[in-house]
Amino acid sequence: MVGIGAAFGGVLRYWLSGYIYKFLPSSFPYGTLAVNFLGCLLIGIIIFGLSEKELITPVVRLFLTVGFCGGFTTFSTFSFETLNLLKDYDFFLAFLNILSNVTLCIAGTYVGYLISKI
């Protein structure tokens, strides 16, 4: 189940990240930021809204969290893109990327938690 979920998550990550760059410049890793935020929002909803309320089975939880969200979010890509910004001496964009990903992803998980309480 984890592998199947990861495959779906990975395909969606690839598509969504590329789609974002049709509208935003590639000078900043907006695609990775969007995917990381959405993945954190989803995991908040899945854990706090579905799993804690026992609306999904443990197997479905594994499929959605470890599998889908794990395949969908892109922390390794985030790290690589940040390192490239640092190597190019673009310290402002590197810092902005770190701050944006950490802040928005924690906020996304929290919003998922709040949504689950409705």
How far is residue 42's CA from residue 69's CA, in Å, rounded to a whole number? 7
Give me the pLDDT at residue 97, please.
96
Tell whether the model's pLDDT for residue 74 goes beyond 90. no
Residues near 1 by beta carbon (within 8 Å), at least 6 away in sequence: 59, 60, 62, 63, 67
**Which candidate, 70, 69, 46, places its Cα nearest to that of 58?**
46
Give me the pLDDT at residue 59, please.
95
Distances (CA, A) of 26 to 19, 29, 32, 104, 109: 11, 6, 11, 19, 26
Give me the pLDDT at residue 21, please.
94
Give me the pLDDT at residue 86, please.
96
Overall average pLDDT of the 79-94 stretch? 95
Give me the pLDDT at residue 77, please.
84
Give me the pLDDT at residue 108, please.
94
pTM greater than 0.75: yes
How far is residue 95's CA from residue 21's CA, in Å, rounded to a whole number? 20
The full DSSP string for 37-100 is HHHHHHHHIIIIIIITTT-S-HHHHHIIIIIIIHHH--HHHHHHHHHHHHHTT-HHHHHHHHHH
Q: Would you state the structure tokens that stand for residue 1, as one six-digit string? A: 């189940």
